[in-house]
Amino acid sequence: MTQNHYTVRAKRWKRGWELHIDDIGVTQVRTLATADRQVRDYLESLLEIDTTNVTIDVVPELGDLAAHAAAARQATEAASVAQREAAARARAVVAELRDAGLSVADVAVVLGVSRGRVSQLTH
């Protein structure tokens, strides 16, 4: 029976990365960008399986830097969520201000954005 998920520990070495695959074996790549494809090729060759529907989770071993990278990813995601929420609020306020009879120019001044941005938020 074929697994549908493999966790791969990526360990840095001077020529790239060693990819340690869930009790299967080890292969290598120069960059993490090619790790997923390399693991799939390795599994397909070694186990003679189709990896189309297999999830490959490459986990680089980075020591303390892993926590910093995770924090940066979380901050980026939080900023993205905040941006979407801000845009939704701005669209709602633009609609309310326009319904109250304010011109596009006046709404732009109230919100501190350009008239073009007000028009974008209106649509």
Q: CA torsion angle for 70, 73, 77, 83 (degrees, to 10)?
A: 130
pTM: 0.65
Query: For residue 65, is pLDDT > 60?
Result: yes
Q: Does the structure show a pLDDT above 70 at 2?
A: no
16: in domain: yes
Taking residues 30-41, report their average pLDDT. Answer: 97
12 lies in the same domain as 55 = yes
Question: What's the 3-state SS for 13-49?
Answer: ECCEEEEEECCCEEEEECCHHHHHHHHHHHHHHHHCC
Number of domains forming the structure of the chain: 2
- Expressed as residue numbers, the domain containing 34 is 5-61
Residues 104 and 56 in one domain: no
